């Protein structure tokens, strides 16, 4: 693994990790997507397998059409205490707030939420003192004494430490007992290029906290490192007594200012201890112990199972009424509602784009409607290839502009639609984009006709704003659309 590679690629930001025996478990933010909070398992901190989604029922996660993109589920913290897994998270959608979920098996099922109405702010953390007192620390950085089993809060928030003077957005706090000290790890500097990780320590979980003289202990601000925006970290011990950080970062591409299109990804960095303070090593370093690759996520899905794999996500909700693999066995069936990708109620099933160069193909039957394959960032930034009414169209939405880029008549019957992303390998000039997104249709003999090739920068966070990355998948714009298979293939 090179220093530029994530351990979980694609839109997997705000990682939080815990170790139980020889097993590691990790969760990430999921924003407006359902099911929410992907859950991963690893035996070596490098190879991760998604084992489920913590929030897979509307009783746990209700995202309405009024929930904006890049809202929803923010910054979960995962901990193991007293024989149970505890997951605390903020939902910034209507009726959300701070919530705690529990499970005996991290693969699920997870409980319905216990709400903590007395806890304000985002990025909540849980830590238990030796006497069983539970502390919830939030961005800002404030702390509450809570009972996570009931949601009761005892007293007002107490300010602990506001981070480096002059640094903005102290957030993502995590509190740990390590040796004789309590350590308070935070992110600061904003989640863009100035992002960093800082730490303080004290003799009590309530402080006072002394900042590390070498803060930030990890940041790539102002460097030419291929991974940027490094921050929002969580500490975890290794089996040999070593310590490690999981953190988020991005891999910008193209010219100035650099565009990242996959979203914020999960990276790994080693930690050494000097004079009682953590010193972060290179982002992307590999642990010294034996690696356990584990099962790989299949790229192709033939939809032969009764349920969708955990990697498939939808926009805000997913109901059997609109999305099913049982109506036409061996096919994914989508029943449209509202309109297409511009509409917050679009019927969409996709996977996070995890490779900077990739190809996605699908066999689509749009005889009873219109739909196809889409590359989605949000409602105002997406490209798609859509079949229906005897033709195939390439559509582009960039901010207030929507246009039909290309169209071609096609014969009746199912057809293979094709999306290809090619990472830019060299800069033509300082304005060069990060990649090209091409759309085409395949004939019955496998011949590919490319209808359009679009600049990928317009489906990037630097253009669209927000916190998410690309998701590529199937959608229905009108009527009913069937998908026999969808294949995601890396080309890196």
pLDDT per position as a tens digit, 54-66: 999 999 999 999 9
Q: Quick one: 348 and 380 in the same domain?
A: yes
Neighbours of 490 (CB within 10 A): 12
Whether residue 169 lies inside any domain: the answer is: yes
Q: Which residues pair with 26 in a beta bridge?
A: 17, 40
pLDDT band at 427 (very low <50, low <70, confident <90, very high): confident
For range 420-445, the mean pLDDT: 93
Q: What number is the average pLDDT over the span 308-312?
A: 97
332 and 419 housed in the same domain: yes
Containing structural domain, residue 163 = 16-280
List for the chain the helix, strand, coil content (%; round to 5).
0, 50, 50
Q: In the prediction, which pLDDT does 253 show?
A: 96
- Is the domain of 37 the same as that of 170? yes
pLDDT tens digits for range 446-460: 899 999 999 999 999
Tokens of 408: 């071609």
Residue 188 domain flag: yes
Q: Where are the beta strands (DSSP E) in 111-260?
A: 114-115, 125-128, 134-138, 142-147, 152-159, 171-178, 181-188, 196-202, 210-211, 218-219, 228-237, 243-250
Within-domain flag for 221: yes
CA nearest 463: which of 345, 340, 380, 406?
Answer: 380
pLDDT at 2: 47
CA 227 to chain CA centroid, Å, is 16
**Cα–Cα distance measured from residue 212 to residue 221, given in angstroms and rounded to the nearest whole number:** 18
Euclidean distance between CA atoms 149 and 81, whole angstroms: 12
d(Cα 57, Cα 60) in Å, to the nearest integer? 5
Start-to-end CA span in the chain (Å)? 14
Q: Do 80 and 169 sit in the same domain of this protein? A: yes
Decide if 470 is inside a domain: yes
pLDDT confidence bin for 1, thresholds 50/70/90:
very low
Q: Is the pLDDT of residue 186 over 70?
A: yes
Q: Are residues 318 and 395 in the same domain?
A: yes
The domain that holds 367 is classified in CATH as 2.60.120.200
- Residue 474 and residue 361 in one domain: yes
Asked whether the beta carbons of 432 and 456 are under 8 A apart, the reply is no
Residue 149 lies in a domain: yes
Cβ-Cβ contacts under 8 Å for 235 (sequence gap 6 or more)? 174, 176, 178, 183, 185, 243, 244, 245, 271, 278
* Residues 312 and 415 grouped into a single domain: yes
**How many domains are contained in the chain?**
2
Half-sphere exposure of 65 (CA within 13 A, CB side): 10
- Please compute the mean of the pLDDT values over residues 111-129 and round it to a whole number: 96
Q: What does residue 391 show for φ and ψ, rounded to 5 degrees?
A: -145, 165
304 and 258 assigned to the same domain: no
Tell whether 465 is covered by a domain.
Answer: yes
The answer to whether residue 292 is domain-embedded is no
Residue 23 to residues 47, 69, 239, 389, 471: CA-CA distances in angstroms?
Answer: 12, 33, 10, 52, 29
Q: Is the peptide bond before 411 cis (omega within 30 degrees of 0)?
A: no
**Which of 325, 413, 319 shows the shortest CA–CA distance to 364?**
413
Question: What is residue 152's three-state secondary structure?
Answer: strand
Structure token pair of residue 256: 């100035």
**CB of 448 within 8 A of CB of 442?**
yes
Close Cβ partners of 441 (under 8 Å, ≥ 6 residues apart): 385, 387, 392, 408, 410, 415, 416, 417, 418, 448, 449, 451
The band of 3, judged by pLDDT with boundaries at 50, 70 and 90, is: low
- The label of the residue with tokens 């506001």 reads 162
Residues identified as active-site: 14, 171
Average pLDDT of span 376-405: 97
């Amino acid at each position: 693994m090179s220093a530029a590679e994530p351990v979980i690629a694609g839109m997997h930001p705000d990682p939080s990790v815990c170790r139980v025996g020889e097993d590691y478990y990790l969760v990430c933010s999921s924003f407006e997507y359902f099911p929410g909070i992907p859950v991963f398992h690893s035996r070596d901190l490098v190879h991760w397998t998604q084992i489920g989604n913590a929030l897979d029922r509307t009783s746990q996660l209700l995202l309405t059409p009024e929930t904006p993109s890049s809202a929803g589920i923010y910054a979960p913290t995962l901990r193991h205490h007293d024989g149970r897994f505890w997951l605390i998270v903020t939902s910034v959608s209507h009726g959300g707030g701070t919530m705690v979920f529990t499970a005996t098996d991290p693969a699920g099922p997870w409980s319905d939420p216990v709400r903590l109405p007395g806890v304000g702010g985002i990025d909540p953390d849980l830590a238990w003192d030796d006497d069983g007192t539970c502390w919830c620390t939030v961005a800002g950085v404030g702390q509450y004494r809570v009972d996570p089993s009931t949601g009761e809060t005892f007293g007002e928030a107490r300010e602990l430490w506001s981070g480096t003077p002059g640094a903005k957005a102290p957030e993502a706090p995590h509190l740990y007992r390590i040796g004789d000290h309590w350590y308070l790890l935070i992110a600061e500097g904003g989640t863009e290029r100035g992002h960093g990780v800082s730490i303080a320590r004290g003799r009590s979980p309530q402080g006072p906290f002394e900042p590390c003289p070498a803060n930030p202990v990890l940041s790539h601000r102002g460097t030419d490192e291929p991974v940027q925006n490094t921050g929002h970290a969580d500490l975890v011990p290794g089996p040999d007594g070593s310590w490690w950080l999981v953190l988020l970062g991005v891999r910008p591409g193209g010219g100035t200012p650099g565009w990242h299109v996959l979203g914020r990804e999960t990276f790994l960095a080693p930690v050494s201890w000097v004079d009682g303070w953590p010193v972060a090593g290179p982002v992307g370093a590999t642990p010294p112990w034996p690696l356990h690759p584990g099962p790989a996520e299949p790229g192709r899905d033939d939809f032969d199972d009764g349920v969708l794999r955990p990697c498939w996500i939808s926009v805000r909700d997913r109901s059997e009424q609109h999305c099913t693999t049982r109506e036409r066995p061996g096919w994914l069936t989508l029943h449209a509602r509202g309109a297409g990708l511009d509409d917050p109620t679009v019927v969409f099933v996709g996977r996070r784009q995890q490779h900077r160069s990739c190809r996605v193909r699908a066999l689509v039957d749009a005889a009873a409607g219109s739909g196809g394959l889409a590359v989605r960032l949000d409602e105002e930034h997406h490209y798609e290839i859509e079949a229906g009414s005897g033709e195939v169209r390439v559509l582009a939405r960039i901010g207030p502009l929507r246009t039909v880029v290309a169209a071609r008549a096609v014969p009746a019957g199912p057809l293979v639609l094709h999306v290809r992303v090619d990472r830019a390998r060299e800069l033509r000039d300082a304005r060069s984009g990060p990649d090209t997104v091409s759309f085409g249709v395949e004939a019955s003999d496998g011949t590919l006709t490319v209808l359009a090739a679009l600049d990928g920068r317009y489906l990037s966070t630097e253009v669209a704003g927000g916190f998410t990355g690309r998701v590529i998948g199937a959608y229905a714009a009108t009527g009913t659309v069937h998908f026999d298979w969808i294949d995601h293939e890396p080309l890196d």
